[in-house]
Structure 1
Amino acid sequence: MRNNLFVRGVYILFITVLLYACAKDKGYYSPISQEAIYKGNLYSYLKSKPGIYDSLVKVIDRIGLQKKLEDSTVTLFALTNANFQLAIQNLNNTLSISDKPAQYLNSVKYEILDSLLCQYIIQGRIASDSLNSQDGKDVRGIRYGYPMHIGLNKQSSSGYINGGPTIVDFSDTRRSVFNRNWVTTETSSLNIQTDNAVVHVLNPDHVFGFNKFVSQIIYIPPPENLFIKFKGLGSASKETSGGPNAVEASKYVFDGNPETKFFLSSPGQFYLQWDFPVEVLANSYTLRSANDIQDRDPTDWTLQGLDGESGKWILLDSRQGEEFDERFQLRVFFFTNTKTYKAYRLNIARMHGGNDFQLADWTMNRNQ
């Protein structure tokens, strides 16, 4: 009898504890935001975390952002040492394949570190509770105004939708309005407060530079601030059937907007041309693929420069079998040139897999 009473007592105690636990958490995890507060500016905060932000501080010092992080109101998507280590490993694995020397944060070109890091620093304080809009926020990085996007992402827990931890999605829009073209990473912690900033820490598996760190160092494509872009008057030997003001007219291949394009139906061979007010010395050009069918991408072409003395078109570059692996992909093509020309002509000879042609953008440049 005594044993039965003991067992019954244990059973009742177990049921009571179980019911109390279920009543306490209501069957799901409801996270409480615990915001860390640091008394000091953002730069001081990063310096106060040795072993975590050493690489970030090194890059900040190299590109001269210390004062900005000391006295400006910003939001930082903080990169830890792990994020930079992944980027450097990927870079040196790529360089070793072609027997090129390894590079590190103290040897990578200033312009590359500058353009990439500035994407992670947003003007103004943006805490996670200001992101309740379903569409999130379109924001821009400091210095160069590169378009980024921030969105709230509430995870599920114990089968309860939105009952789990809250994270923030941070996206490189790649200058596209379509989120299918974005590259997105997530935060591991949120809303660290300093005197002048909000800090959201990125997951350790994020690679610094999103998918651009390695490609920019090997110049496919280079960062925009590494180029001198020449401005002139663009034209084409053939126009789209809707005329020069159609939605896919030739003028859009010269406008620098990746969301617009030039489209021609079965044009055969034709050319695009840049005319400049004065002769310019170009040694590179960029082409950006357009938004849809890959078969319309150019694959064979030649580049010519107009010699002002003889009036002849001089062959500067020739390409065959080129491919654009992605939509809105910007590729750079280098050629050897020591002479100035007043006009440059891109002769399109063949498309990737059909007769129709499309291209988002073409620029003539000189790499610094």
Structure 2
Amino acid sequence: MKQFRYILSFAIILAFATACQKEHFTDGGVRTGKLNMNVYDFLKSRPFEFDTIVWILDKTGLADAVKQNNVTFFAPRDLSVVNYLKRIGGAKLDTVNVDTLRKAMSKYIFPGRKVWRDSIPLEKSPEGGMLITSLNGYQMYLDTWRDAYNGIPNAGPIFIRIWDPHGFTANPIRRFDPISKWPELQNKYNPWVNSGIITSNLEATNGVVHAVAGTHTFNFPY
């Protein structure tokens, strides 16, 4: 019986240690970490989450874009691609036009700059977030929001959101006008065009990785 208690205690400690290791990547964006590899190699090192993303990067010729220096990649999960394929009628990935995939993946790649979570304005700031130009010249929008903690508003960790501004159905330009009230509260918009970041500020040797939530739909369809 005594030996059983020792075994049980060891199993609990081992499970806790494993959970802590996993938490470093999946716990909602409050942890940071240094990766001893570039962005592309990091994605390849986690095939259970990013092997489809790596396939798209290779297929579209964008692998080199996430290997260059000073790149920020908002990494969608494989599940995001599954959501996308369901959204377009259950098509198989290898039947989707390569140019379509290239344009879609380019929305997540921001060359020439490292975008850290703390550099993105909070949604309640006068700036109301920030517009940022992706690899293909497509303008995306980033903002941050602070969660509650123990029931106290705005006392918790800060999370990033990434938006496709062209998804707003009523004059999307108003969304970024700091003197207007938040138009998404007044005008109909499509919730498919934004997604939260579950883990941010992963520092690769050549840039920054922010992992997009698996509930996201690849390409921000609307």
Does TM, normalized by the shorter one, top 0.5? yes
CA displacement 1:282-314 (0-9 Å, x = unmatched):
xxxxxxxxxxxxxxxxxxxxxxxxxxxxxxxxx
Q: Secondary structure of 1:178's partner?
A: helix
Partner of 2:173: 177
Once the 2 structures are TM-superposed, how far is the Cα of residue 33 of structure 1 from its aligned partner?
4.2
AA of the residue aligned to 1:132: P
User: How big is each residue's C-alpha offset from its partner over 1:118-145, in whole Å with a ceiling of 9 and x where there is no partner?
Assistant: 0111121101011135222110110x21
- Report which of the two has the higher share of helix: 2
SS in 1 for 2:107: helix
2:118 maps to 129
Residues 200 and 209 of structure 2 are in contact (CA less than 8 Å); yes or no, is this contact kept in structure 1?
Answer: yes
SS in 2 for 1:116: helix
Other structure's SS at 1:46 match? helix
Alpha-carbon distance between aligned partners in 2 of 1:138 and 1:206, rounded to the nearest angstrom? 20
Per-residue deviation, 1:178: 2.5
Say yes or no: does 1:168 pair with 2:149: no
* Counterpart for residue 299 of structure 1: none
SS of 1:92's partner is coil
> Which residue in 2 is equivalent to 1:197?
207
Residue in 2 that maps onto 1:211: 221
Distance 1:105 1:62 in 2: 11
**Deviation (angstroms), 1:90:** 2.5
Amino acid at match of 2:114: R
Asked whether the equivalents of residues 59 and 105 of structure 1 are also in contact (C-alpha less than 8 Å), the reply is no
| AA at the equivalent of 1:107 | T
Q: Which 5+ residue runs of structure 2 have no aligned equivalent?
A: 1-27, 176-183
Residues 33-52 of structure 1: matches in 2 within 5 Å? Answer: 33-52=30-49
Aligned-partner SS, 1:40: coil
TM-score (norm 1): 0.44
Deviation at 1:82, TM superposition (A): 0.9
Distance 2:31 2:102 in 1: 32
**How far is the alpha carbon of 1:195 from its aligned partner?**
0.9
Counterpart residue identity of residue 195, structure 2: T
Higher share of residues assigned strand? 1
Unmatched runs of 5 consecutive residues or more in structure 1:
1-30, 94-102, 213-368
Q: Using the TM superposition, give the Cα deviation of residue 34 of structure 1 relative to its aligned residue in structure 2, in angstroms.
A: 2.5
Percent identity of paired positions between Structure 1 and Structure 2: 23
* Superposition CA RMSD, Å: 2.0
Which of residues 92, 107, 113 is equivalent to 1:104? 92
- Alpha-carbon displacement from aligned partner over 1:162-189 (angstroms, at most 9, x marks no partner): 1223211101011832223573211111
Deviation at 1:91, TM superposition (A): 2.2
Give the counterpart letter for 2:217 in structure 1.
V
Contact 2:121 2:130 (C-alpha < 8 Å) held by counterparts: no
- Amino acid paired to 1:77: F
Aligned length: 172
Letter in 1 for 2:174: F
SS in structure 2 at match of 1:89: helix
Superposition pairs for residues 271-286 of structure 1, below 5 Å? none
Amino acid at match of 1:122: F
Alignment partner, residue 153 of structure 1:
145
- Aligned match of 1:250: none
Give the structure with higher Rg (CA): 1
Q: 1:84 to 1:32 in 2, by over 3 A?
A: closer
Taking the aligned partners of 1:190 and 1:149, their CA distance within structure 2 comes to 16
